[in-house]
Each structure stands twice: as C-alpha cells, then as structure tokens.
Amino acid sequence: MKSYSSASRSLLLAGAFFGALTLSAVAQQPAAPAAGAAPAAAPAPLPPGSPLIGRPADNEAAAKLAPVAPPPLAGAPDKLPIAKLKLPPGFNIEVYAAGMANARSLALGDKGTVFVGSRLVDKVYGIENKDGKRSVKVIASGLYRPNGVAFKNGTLYIAELSKVSKIDKVEDNLDSPPKPTMIYDKLPKDEAHGWKFIAIGPDNKLYVPVGQPGNVVLHDEDHGQIRRMNLDGTGAEIYVRGVRNTVGFDWNPENKQMYFTDNGRDWLSETVPEDELNRVTKQGEHFGAPYCLQGNIIDQELGWGKDCKDYTAPVGLMGPHVAALGMRFYTGSMFPKSYKNAIIVARHGSWNKTNKQGGDVVVVKLNKDGTVKSMEPLITGFLQDNKYVGRPVDVMQLKDGSMLVSDDWNGAVYRITYGKQKVAGK
C-alpha cells in the first residue's frame, strides 16, 4: 500500500513535469485546461441543452435520481400486478391482452381491433377481436420509436420518431399487413422528446406534436409545438406553440376544444413545476414553455425578460414530475354519471423526485366552463414502496363504455368496467 502511494506520487510529479514541458502542445487543444494547473475549484458549467441543467452538483439525494427504464421483456400474463391495483367501489379491472413488450399508445379500429404503439422496441401490435377471442399480432416491425397510433376510415396511422406513415385497410390484413407508407417526414430527428403521440381531430386533421429537444432548452421554430395536417400529410401547419412534451390529447365532446397534457421540466425542484393540462381555445396560442412553467413560474434560466401573462395558462395542474401522458374524454354510459365528459388521464409516474408520485390513472372532472373542478384517483397501486410494478401510458374507451389502459412496464393492456362484473371472453 505504502509503496503504491509513493509510486503514484512520483508518477504525479513526472506527469506535472511532463505536462509543463508540453504546455504549448496542450494549449492547442481548445477544450483542455493547462496540465498541472491548480486543482479545479468548481466544475465548469454544463453546456446549453444538457439534460442535467439545474441539478445541484453535490447533493446526495439528487444524485440518486435517474430516468427509470422498464424491463424489456413483457410480463407473463399470470405475473401481471392486477391484484395490487385499487379502484373505487363498483369498478373492476382485468387483463385485456398481454405479451406486447413496451405497450404504449392505443387506437381503436372500426372492426374492434386495438392498435398498440411502442417506444423502446420497434413494433406496432394489433389486438384482434374475432368470435369473442382476442389474439395479439405484430402489425409492423423494424420501426424507430413507433409510439403514436391513430385510426380513421380503415387506415392506421403510425408516428415514429421523425416520420408518420399509414397502412390502408389494415383490419382486412391483420395477418400479413403491407408495410407502412410514409406520408410526412418533415420532422426533426432529436431523441429528446422525439417520440410522438398522434390523434385525428374533429376537423379530420392529423395532429402531430414536436417536443422541445431537451429538458430546458432554447430551440428553433421547428420544435416545441403541435402541428396539424391533412390525412395524406399535406397542408401541415403549426397549431399551437410553447409545448414542452405532450404525449396525450383529445377533444372536448361538448365544444370540440382540444385538451392536452404537457410534461414539466426536470431538476427545478421536488415540488414544482407541475405537469400541465392545457386547453386550446384558438390556433396560434403559446403555452409558455420553456419560459413560463405551469402558468405562474418564470424559468430561472430562460425566463428572464418574460412574463407569464403573455402565455396561455394551463386549466389544470397534474402534479410535479408525474408524467401525465395519455388522456381521453369519457363519453360512454357504463361508468357513473359524474364521469360523463370527464377526462381520464394516465400518469406514467415520476423519476425526478425522491418520493415517486403518479404511476396511476386519474379522472379530471370539468366545470361547465371547461375549467378543472376536481382530480380523483381511478387506478392506484402501480407504485409500491417507491418502486414501479407497472406504469400506465395511455387510456382508450371501447364502444361498450369500458376503458382500456396500457402499461409499458409489463407490456400489457387492462380493461376497466363498472357494475356487475362481466367476464370477457379469453
């Protein structure tokens, strides 16, 4: 031990000497500080765009936090955490389909097929419903982060990281569907917030978000927005701006206004900013990101000279770091009356928080004027002892008024019903 440390000291001295001799050579490298200089006091600041901006450098609790990745293998049907999930009295939950690694966004076909996107694998799945039996098929593979799926008039739309494609008459060919045809690819290729949720609006346009390319970052005109376009990919235009990363939206059935969830930035604090529930009242609105957070906090770095009054404030706050993702208005009649036209939201759950929050499905009830009246839990139990046993991503109503929930941790889709429990066909 002793000889080792003296050896290392002599090496250090040699290094310093060597460093001094080669100082001029070293100085030609732009990023390299002079060798043998006094020990650096404070580390250099993070470059713009680093996802770690805001993280305190010497904080033990902060150093324990890292993005949580789901296991790659889908959970076996008999090992899903269904018994751990809790719902209000009268509600039931069952496994609808399993074995779909990283099951994410949901879309419903005319003939009852449920399409399921993924983010960390390359597949879009289809859950076929035939003669009361369900079976899982791979509809497309070899795709890059195919998170988004939407369906209209026989056609499935798929959004990958930087392109949107479609498969016509997909439900006629579930066993050997043709390869998707690209309809739109004028999209940035950033990994950060590059995966997409998509949906088709009441105006028959396809809505495609482009997230901000980092945690908290100034960006160009092509990011931080929701676009809309015709169903063949033409006529793309910016619908709204100031969107950090939305992974869920739907339209109020009463007045056709779009509502969307938006995820707040990381590393500002444990308690703020909260994720947003936003309402669009007119095209061109700006929702504040990255300058104004949750409608009333000016960003400590990028917000100088900005005023929250200049941006549209959220109608609801969904909790800090909870990752409010998929959301749909409930229009069915199976659930209690108070659920009619309420919004069901999947909160994927936090990583940037010591005591995890979210990892549940909530119901957001609205006032007559479209503002938020209340937020109540619908499914809890995905979070056990500060660890995930599942993570809800998207929700979608079936024709009978029951609701599906996807879980990318287990690669499964669950079905929620209300009232006397009906056992669905296996």
Partner 1 sequence: MRKITLALILASITFSAGAETLEERFVTCQGCHGEKGQSGTENTPSLGGQQAPYALIQLFMFREKLRDFEPMNEMAKALTDDDLRNFSDYIAKIPKPAPPTDAGEPARMQRGQALVKQYLCNTCHNGDFSGKENVPRIANQREDYLAKTLGEYKDNSRHGYDGSMADVMGAVPKEQIADLAYYIARVR
Residues that bind partner 1 (CB under 8 A): 7-8, 11-12, 15-16, 18-19, 26, 29-33, 35-36, 39-40, 43-52, 55, 57, 62-63, 65-69, 71-73, 119-122, 144, 189, 191-192, 194, 214-215
Residue 195 bridge partners (DSSP): none
Q: Find, among 215, 156, 157, 208, the residue nearest to 186 by Cα.
A: 208
Query: Closest approach of Cβ 11 to partner 1, in Å?
Result: 6
By beta-carbon proximity to partner 1, the closer residue of 36 and 370 is 36
By beta-carbon proximity to partner 1, the closer residue of 18 and 283 is 18
CB atoms near residue 239 (< 10 Å): 22
Give me the torsion for CA of 51, 57, 61, 67, rounded to 10°. Answer: 20
By beta-carbon proximity to partner 1, the closer residue of 37 and 182 is 37
Query: Closest approach of Cβ 172 to partner 1, in Å?
Result: 28
By beta-carbon proximity to partner 1, the closer residue of 218 and 236 is 218
Query: Closest approach of Cβ 90 to partner 1, in Å?
Result: 37
Query: Closest approach of Cβ 47 to partner 1, in Å?
Result: 4
By beta-carbon proximity to partner 1, the closer residue of 63 and 182 is 63
Query: Closest approach of Cβ 64 to partner 1, in Å?
Result: 8
By beta-carbon proximity to partner 1, the closer residue of 36 and 154 is 36
Query: Closest approach of Cβ 200 to partner 1, in Å?
Result: 26
By beta-carbon proximity to partner 1, the closer residue of 109 and 392 is 392
Using CA atoms, how far residue 158 sits from 142, 403, 418, in Å, is 13, 22, 31
By beta-carbon proximity to partner 1, the closer residue of 44 and 423 is 44
By beta-carbon proximity to partner 1, the closer residue of 312 and 352 is 352
Q: Find, among 372, 380, 315, the residue nearest to 347 by Cα.
A: 380
The token pair that represents 87 in the structure block: 């719902």
The token pair that represents 192 in the structure block: 């950060």
Query: Closest approach of Cβ 386 to partner 1, in Å?
Result: 13
By beta-carbon proximity to partner 1, the closer residue of 48 and 202 is 48
Query: Closest approach of Cβ 295 to partner 1, in Å?
Result: 26
Query: Closest approach of Cβ 66 to partner 1, in Å?
Result: 4
Query: Closest approach of Cβ 144 to partner 1, in Å?
Result: 8
d(C-alpha 311, C-alpha 95), whole Å: 42
d(C-alpha 316, C-alpha 331), whole Å: 20
